[in-house]
Amino acid sequence: MGERRLAVHVLDTRIEIVLQGRDTDELFARAEEAWSLALAPNTDVDAVVVADLLPEGGQRHHRAVGWEPKPGKPWAFAEPDAGRLLMLLTQYVTSAAIKEQSGRLLMLHAAGLAHPQTGKASIWVAPGNMGKSTLVRTLGPSFCYLTDETIAIRRDGTIAPYAKPVSTRVHEAAGVKEERAPGPLGLSLADIAARPAGLVFLERDATHEGPAQITELDTLSAIEAAVPESSAFMVTDKPLQWLANILESTGGARRVRYAEASDLLPLAREIMGEAP
């Protein structure tokens, strides 16, 4: 039994992760590797997530979806399986960061990649389990990694990265995901600030044949499609006008129907430009 701590900087939020329970040294090593692109000093933290690895067979303790801790209290959960704990850790870190940035950042459920030299970013909007991580693993090594989960846009038009572990579904039926370190997947961070250059709604269809089918969306339709995939949209100041400005300054939004993530490479290049 012990306790290990690390901190990550995600979505402009510094979050301390406290690992408790059994096998904390091994758990710390796995978490440190998985979050390697987001590690930060353990000072001036905005929120704390406590993950307790229970003895095998222990009674897991997860909060209900939408639960938030009282002000000043940590986000906390307990789980007997280490792999599942790391998956849940990502979800709790995401919730904590989104909570901290509610009203400040425009947040969309999307994957994001950026050109390493221009910072031009492509934003790929989709619900969970609809191809975002696969897209990142496939196209990401040619560009820079922003996120496979939440794109957050600041008022100044730059993107706050969320370089989380890449979630990969390993047990389809159980819905368990493995949290993989971005580095070994060939993913790296951009050295310059990323800015939106194009927004795409993903519509993966395994039966689709031929090149990706692209449909232009007008501003109102794009916002209607984006709102269900947003976080804290309703508590953001003038969110409709903010998102409209982003869309209209980047050539609008598109919906793309495709079968394989590699089919999206031409569109990625069109939005971000050819990577060196």
Partner 1 sequence: MSVQENSGAFSTGQVKLGDIVDVLEREGESLVLANGMIHRLSPPATLILQRANAGWIGVPELVVALVTEFGDPPDGDADALTRDMVDALIEAHLLKSRNLSSST
Residues that bind partner 1 (CB under 8 A): 218-220, 223-224, 227, 234, 238-241, 244
For partner 1, the closer of residues 181 and 244 by Cβ is: 244
Phi then psi dihedrals of residue 42, to 5 deg: -80, 40
d(CA 111, CA 150): 6
> Minimum distance between the CB of residue 17 and partner 1, rounded to whole angstroms?
32
Q: 3-state SS of the chain: helix, strand, coil percent to 5? A: 30, 35, 35
> Minimum distance between the CB of residue 7 and partner 1, rounded to whole angstroms?
34
Sequence letter at residue 243 = L
> Minimum distance between the CB of residue 65 and partner 1, rounded to whole angstroms?
18
Helix (H/G/I), strand (E/B), else coil: 254: strand
Beta bridge partners of 17: 6, 49
> Minimum distance between the CB of residue 226 and partner 1, rounded to whole angstroms?
10
For partner 1, the closer of residues 188 and 219 by Cβ is: 219
**219: CB partners within 8 A, 6+ apart:** 244, 247, 248, 252, 253
For partner 1, the closer of residues 214 and 227 by Cβ is: 227
For partner 1, the closer of residues 91 and 245 by Cβ is: 245
> Minimum distance between the CB of residue 244 and partner 1, rounded to whole angstroms?
5
d(CA 153, CA 34): 24
For partner 1, the closer of residues 226 and 256 by Cβ is: 226
d(CA 236, CA 103): 4
Q: Which two tokens stand for residue 106?
A: 């425009």
Q: Which two tokens stand for residue 55?
A: 């003895």
> Minimum distance between the CB of residue 220 and partner 1, rounded to whole angstroms?
5
> Minimum distance between the CB of residue 92 and partner 1, rounded to whole angstroms?
25
For partner 1, the closer of residues 131 and 239 by Cβ is: 239
For partner 1, the closer of residues 134 and 236 by Cβ is: 236
Q: Which two tokens stand for residue 212?
A: 């990706």
Task: Judge whether 222 and 248 are in contact, CB under 8 Å.
Answer: no
Alpha helix (H) ranges present in 119-163?
132-139
